[in-house]
Amino acid sequence: MNKIIAANQTLTSEAVSEGHPDKIADQISDAILDEILKLDKNAKVACEVIIAQNLVVIAGEINSPVKKTIDIKEIAKNIIKDIGYTNIDYGLDYKTITVIDAIGNQSRDIVNAIEKKGSNTLGAGDQGIIFGYACDETKNFLPAPYELANSILKKASNLRKSGAIEWLRPDSKSQVTMEYDKNRNPVKIKNIIVSHQHHPNISQKLIRQTIIEEIIKPNIQDKSMIDENTNYCINPSGNFVIGGPTGDTGLTGRKIIADSYGGFARHGGGAYSGKDATKVDRSAAYMARYIAKNMVAAGISKEFELQLAYAIGIENPISIQITAGINDPKYANKILDFIVNNFDLTPNGIIEKLKLKQPIYLKTCTYGHFGKNEFEWEKLDFVKKIQAVLKK
């Protein structure tokens, strides 16, 4: 059923930067996955990272003969360097970190469940509940507060890395609250919160002025969305000098809402990063997004949310349900029939359609997995077929 949005109701979304401790862990996990896939397209990877202080522990399971040929410790150091953690005063230093490799092999029971002897099919790599979502609020078919929260942090990252704002450090978070009208359209930006790590001895007045004028406002395309009542809350805790893993432990897969739709859609709970495409937590989430985005682009509804559910070792989803966007049960059933008959929702089908054996994953895991049009799951190549069959 449709979400009910009352007039003048506010909705909030958040994002985290590439320098957030949990995001550092995600990037290391996906960088390792990419390096494995460059050498072995059929590798089974479930890589997880924990970062605390100046220590990185890499764990999980990898089944591939090339595992021993890649330098996992060097991959972790390079990611940390690229993010900008080049000094222990920032909360992490790629030059002095300790990296522990605790990766093991995937369970033979799981391998046998996925790869059926004498068959070319693949079973799902785990059980899972997966959601895909799209809405018409932005050109990328993402919620407007979520897209703005991410674009603010991307702008800050670019200015930091270019040296344009030298006192910015890598760790940051943002949160955007927008007011919606009765037709579910965003009409005003009510609050923007940015917490950004910075060098010491920088005044909070300068931090506030710079973030508002040079980072936030340039990202707001429609200036009518802000006015004198818009609240900018910059570094509400005061100083934010201690950041990165010195300030907070990082863990792969802990920012699943920031990874998906910023709280505007359901999430089944399974993380994306560090997992190869046999893990439907990731691959089916991309497929569900692909379907939802094409449905909204075709004009089926203002928003569309699809749930898929899988059981380990079983090829086809055990259930498919439209969980938001369609009120009419008969029309919903027609759409479900269309989905079942036109989209291959098996692991093999998803992997082939979305080209998920390619080493693309490091690019996916910062500033959201969706809305990046270079990826197959963001293509709008099913719109005309949907309109021909389903448009009322």
pLDDT greater than 60 at residue 4: no
Three-class DSSP category at 224: helix
Residue 93 CA to residue 98 CA, distance in Å, equals: 10
CA angle centred on 269, ends 104 and 3, rounded to 5°: 165
pLDDT greater than 70 at residue 2: no
8 A C-beta contact, residue 320 and residue 345:
yes
How is 130-163 classified by DSSP, letter by letter?
EEEEEESSSTTSS-HHHHHHHHHHHHHHHHHHHT
* Nearest Cα residue to 73 out of 92, 89, 58, 88: 58
Residue 142 CA to residue 153 CA, distance in Å, equals: 16
pLDDT greater than 60 at residue 197: yes
Amino acid identity, residue 106? Q
Residue 315 CA to residue 366 CA, distance in Å, equals: 30
Pair of tokens at residue 6: 């009352």
Q: pLDDT tens digit string along 146-179? A: 999 999 999 999 999 999 999 999 999 999 999 9
**Non-local CB neighbours of 139 within 8 Å, separated by 6+ positions:** none
The runs of H, that is alpha helices, within 178-251 are 204-210, 244-247
pLDDT greater than 50 at residue 369: yes
Q: What's the pLDDT at 1?
A: 42
Three-class DSSP category at 54: coil
CA angle centred on 302, ends 343 and 6, rounded to 5°: 140
pLDDT greater than 70 at residue 116: no
pLDDT greater than 80 at residue 186: yes
Q: How confident is the model at residue 112 (pLDDT cuts 50, 70, 90)?
A: low
Q: pLDDT tens digit string along 12-33? A: 999 999 999 999 999 999 999 9
Helix axes 280-297, 347-354, angle to 10 degrees: 60
8 A C-beta contact, residue 87 and residue 278:
no
* Nearest Cα residue to 24 out of 46, 44, 52: 52
Q: How confident is the model at residue 249 (pLDDT cuts 50, 70, 90)?
A: very high
Q: pLDDT tens digit string along 344-362? A: 999 999 999 999 999 999 9
Q: pLDDT tens digit string along 41-85? A: 999 999 999 999 999 999 999 999 898 899 999 999 999 999 999
Residue 13 CA to residue 385 CA, distance in Å, equals: 33
Strand order in the sheet with 128-135: 128-135, 303-310, 319-324
Of 120-129, 182-191, 371-380, minimum mean pLDDT range: 120-129
Residue 252 CA to residue 27 CA, distance in Å, equals: 8
Q: What's the pLDDT at 327?
A: 87
Pair of tokens at residue 282: 């990731």
Q: pLDDT tens digit string along 314-328? A: 889 999 999 999 988
The structure's pTM equals 0.94
Amino acid identity, residue 50? I
Average pLDDT for residues 376-381, to the nearest whole number? 98
Residue 365 CA to residue 362 CA, distance in Å, equals: 6
Cα(first)–Cα(last) distance of the chain, in Å?
Answer: 18
The rounded mean pLDDT for the chain is 93
Residue 163 CA to residue 154 CA, distance in Å, equals: 14
pLDDT greater than 50 at residue 226: yes
Q: What share of the chain is helix, strand, coil (3-state, %, to 5)?
A: 35, 25, 40
Counting beta carbons within 10 angstroms of the beta carbon of residue 17, is it exposed (0 to 12), middle (13 to 18) or buried (19 or more)?
buried
Three-class DSSP category at 314: coil
**Non-local CB neighbours of 188 within 8 Å, separated by 6+ positions:** 178, 179, 225, 226, 227, 229, 230
Pair of tokens at residue 283: 């691959």
**Non-local CB neighbours of 118 within 8 Å, separated by 6+ positions:** none
Q: For the beta carbon of residue 42, count every other beta carbon within 10 angstroms.
A: 12
